Amino acid sequence: MTELRRIQLLSPRLANQIAAGEVVERPASVAKELLENCLDAGATRIDVDVEQGGIKLLRVRDDGGGIPADDLPLALARHATSKIRDLQDLEAVNSLGFRGEALASISSVSRLTLTSRTPQASEAWQVETEGRDMEARVQPAAHPVGTTVEVRDLFFNTPARRKFLRAEKTEFDHLQDVIKKLALARFDVAFHLRHNGKSVLALHEAHDAQARARRVGAVCGTAFLEQALPIEIERNGLHLWGWVGLPTFSRSQADLQYFYVNGRMVRDKLVAHAVRQAYRDVLYNGRHPTFVLFLEIDPAVVDVNVHPTKHEVRFRDSRMVHDFLYGTLHRALGEVRPEDQLAAPAAVTQVVRATGLEAGEFGPQGEMSLAANLLERPTAEPSWRPVGGYQAPRAQPALPVAEAQGAYREYFAPLGTAGAASALPAEQGDIPPLGYALAQLKGVYILAENAVGLVLVDMHAAHERITYERLKTAMACEGLKGQPLLVPESLALSEREADCAEEHAAWFTRLGFELQRLGQESLAIRQIPALLKQAEANQLVRDVLADLLEYGTSDRIQAHLNELLATMACHGAVRANRRLTLPEMNGLLRDMEQTERSGQCNHGRPTWTQLGMDDLDKLFLRGR
C-alpha cells in the first residue's frame, strides 16, 4: 500500500533551489541576470571578472544607483523587486529584470555576497545569506557608489547540477556571448570583461554612429560590418533600426542573428519567420541571414512575461509586426544596387529608408502588392534584352486575360546579335558602378573594368535574376488567371480553419482561388491559379491556412508561384557558351545596375564579384 504523504511547505532554501532551475542553468545565465540588474540601475560602466569560466568566481561591478542599506536583506528575498508595483506596471514593463527571484535563486546555489552604496550614503553596506532559512546578514563595507555582486562556487551545494556544466572554455564562451548581446543592446554603457586575470573584452561607450558601428564590428566582426546594410524606419508606432547583412554574407548556422525588442534580446518565431520571408528570394539554400536589429514599440502592446528566461515575447498585434518587419527588410534588400556594395562600409553611415507603401506596407499577399506598388514609379527602360523581349511594364491597366500568357512567352525569344541597345563607354561622365565590358571568358563570364578594378559577372545568373524580377512585376500588373476544377475538391478542416478561410476569402480570390464553405468543418476548392495547376491544391490550402492561423499571414502561394517563375526565368536566361557582343555585355551590366536583388540569382548564388587593384597587386606581390 502506498504511503500517505502529507502536504507541507517547502523550506525557503529548497524553494529557491527549485526556482533556480528556471533561471540558473550555467554561469552565463547568472551573468545575464546580474548584468540586467546593472543596466536597470542606470549603470554607465560594468566590469565583469571571471575565474574558471564563472564556476569558481563571477564578480559583476557597476556604477549605478546602488541599493539602500535597509533594502539589502530584501534584495536576496524571493518575489522582492523595485521594478514593478502593481498589475499596471507588469502590463508595460520597461525594465529588463522584474521577476524578483534571480538573486534569491542564485544565492541558494552559490556563495553570494552583495555590496552596494547609494549616492546619498556615507558608507557602503554588504549582505550575504547563510543557513537553512537563508537569513540575511548585513554589515558595513568599503565600496564606491554602485553595486558589486560576487558569486563563488556555483552549484557547490547541488552536485548533481554541477555535473551538467561543460568545460571551462565552453562555459566562458557562453558567458562572453551574453555580455556581447547586452553590449549591442546598450551602446551607452561601457563593458569590460576579464577572465582568469586577463582582459578579454573592452567596449567603451558609443554615443555616435561611428562609435556604434565600431562596437558592432567588435562584437560581430568587421566582415559583417563591411557587408551590412544600415536601415531605419518608423511607422504606426513601430521603430526599426540596425544592420542587416547582405545576402552574400550568409552563415551556415543562425549564430549571427541579434534581435531586440525595447532593448531586450529575444528569439521569437514570428520575427524569425518574417526575416526568413524577406530573405527567401536572395539566400542560397540552407544558408542563414545575419542581422543586428532593434525594434522599439509601446511596452503596453508587447508581453515580455511569457517565459521564465524572458527570451520570448508576445505582441498584441502580431500580424502588424510581422508585416512591418517583412515589408521593411524585403524593401531594403530589394533596393541594394551594385554601387551600395562597392561603397565604403555602409554601416558607418546612418541611412533612413522610405516609409509608407514604399517601405512595404502590405498584408499577407506579400510580394504581389509590393511589386504592384513598384508599377506606380517610373521604370528605367532596359538597355539589354533578347530581341523582341518583354519590358518591365509601366503603370497601366491590367492586360486582358487572353493576352496575359503572351507577356510571359516573350521572355523566351532567342537572343539576337543585332539590335541590342548600345551601352559603350562615353567620352565624358562618371564610370557606372559595374564599369564597361572588356571581354567574355569561355562563354560564361563577362570581364569588365570599373573605377575600383576588375568586375567578373556570371552572365547566366545575372540575366536569370533580371528576367525573374520582370516576370514578378508582370504578374503583379496582369494579375493571376484562375482555372476552374472539373471536379471540385472537398476539404475536411477544423471549424477554426474553415472560419479562417472565410475571413480571408477576398485574399484567396485575388490569388486565383475560389473556396466555398460547405459546412461547419468542410470547404470545397472550385478554382486554383492557372500557373499552379500541377500543385497539390488540397495540401497547399491546408498549409496556407496553418500559416494564417499561426502568423496572421502566409507566403506559401507566393513561394509556389515564385518557384515557377524562377524556373521560367532560368530557361529564358541566356545560356552558357552564348557569345555576346560588347554592346550586349554593356547593356547587361546597365540592367544589373537597375534591377532589384541583382547581386544574387534566383537560387541565392552571387551574380558578380569585384577584384580591386589591392587584390590584384597581392596576387602578383606588387609593392612587397
Per-residue confidence at 370, pLDDT binned at 50, 70, 90? very low
Q: Three-state DSSP class for 220?
A: helix
* Lowest-confidence segment of 19-28, 171-180, 181-190 by average pLDDT: 19-28
DSSP track, 55-104: TSEEEEEE-S----GGGHHHHTSTT--SS--SHHHHTT--SS--SS-HHH
* Lowest-confidence segment of 372-376, 455-459, 465-469, 500-504 by average pLDDT: 372-376
The confidence score (pLDDT) of residue 345 equals 47
What is the C-alpha separation between 442 and 449, in angstroms, rounded? 18
The confidence score (pLDDT) of residue 227 equals 87
User: Where are the chain's structural domains?
Assistant: 12-203, 209-359, 391-624
Task: Count CB-CB contacts under 10 A for residue 591.
Answer: 27
* Lowest-confidence segment of 127-141, 246-260, 576-590 by average pLDDT: 127-141
Q: Which residues contact 390 (CB under 8 A, 6 or more apart)?
A: 407, 408, 410, 411, 470, 474
The confidence score (pLDDT) of residue 21 equals 61
pLDDT at 492 over 70: yes
Q: Which position has the higher pLDDT, 182 or 546? A: 182
Per-residue confidence at 479, pLDDT binned at 50, 70, 90? low
Q: Which fold has domain 209-359?
A: Ribosomal Protein S5; domain 2 (3.30.230)
**Residues 589-598 pLDDT 10s:** 999 999 999 9
The C-alpha angle 131, 136, 142, rounded to 5 degrees, equals: 125
**Residues 234-262 pLDDT 10s:** 998 899 999 999 888 889 898 899 999 99
Burial class (CB in 10 A: 0-12, 13-18, 19+), 488: middle
Burial 509-520 (b: 16+ CB within 10 A, else e): eebbbbbeeeee
The confidence score (pLDDT) of residue 546 equals 84
Mean pLDDT of 101-123: 90
Mean pLDDT of 2-28: 75
The confidence score (pLDDT) of residue 133 equals 60
Q: Which position has the higher pLDDT, 78 or 266? A: 266
Give phi and psi for 491, each to the nearest 5: -135, 120
Q: Three-state DSSP class for 408?
A: helix
Mean pLDDT of 97-107: 74
CB 459 within 8 A of CB 510: no
The confidence score (pLDDT) of residue 352 equals 39
Per-residue confidence at 202, pLDDT binned at 50, 70, 90? very high
**Residues 540-572 pLDDT 10s:** 788 888 878 877 777 777 777 777 677 767 776
Q: Which fold has domain 391-624?
A: Ribosomal Protein S8; Chain: A, domain 1 (3.30.1370)
* Lowest-confidence segment of 12-16, 92-96, 562-566 by average pLDDT: 92-96
The confidence score (pLDDT) of residue 189 equals 96
Mean pLDDT of 330-356: 63
* Lowest-confidence segment of 170-174, 193-197, 406-410, 442-446 by average pLDDT: 406-410
Q: Locate cell 525595447: which residue?
A: 262
What is the C-alpha separation between 27 and 151, in angstroms, rounded? 9
Q: Which position has the higher pLDDT, 507 or 93? A: 507
pLDDT at 403 over 50: no
Among the listed residues 609, 279, 235, the one whose alpha carbon sits nearest the alpha carbon of residue 453: 609
Q: Which position has the higher pLDDT, 10 or 211? A: 211
At 273, which helix (H) or strand (E)?
helix 269-279
The confidence score (pLDDT) of residue 480 equals 66
What is the C-alpha separation between 136 and 459, in angstroms, rounded? 73
Among the listed residues 557, 515, 511, the one whose alpha carbon sits nearest the alpha carbon of residue 536: 557
pLDDT at 575 over 70: yes
Class of the CATH domain delimited by 12-203: alpha beta
Q: How high is the mean pLDDT of the chain?
A: 80
pLDDT at 528 over 80: yes
In the 3-class helix/strand/coil scheme, how is 437-493 assigned residue by residue? EEEEECCCEEEEECCCEEEEEEHHHHHHHHHHHHHHHHHHHHCCCEEEEEEEEEEEC
pTM of the model: 0.74
Q: Which residues contact 282 (CB under 8 A, 6 or more apart)?
A: 247, 333, 597, 599, 600, 604
Mean pLDDT of 323-348: 78
pLDDT at 453 over 80: yes
What is the C-alpha separation between 248 and 290, in angstroms, rounded? 10
**Residues 137-165 pLDDT 10s:** 899 999 999 999 999 999 988 888 888 89
What is the C-alpha separation between 585 and 420, in angstroms, rounded? 10
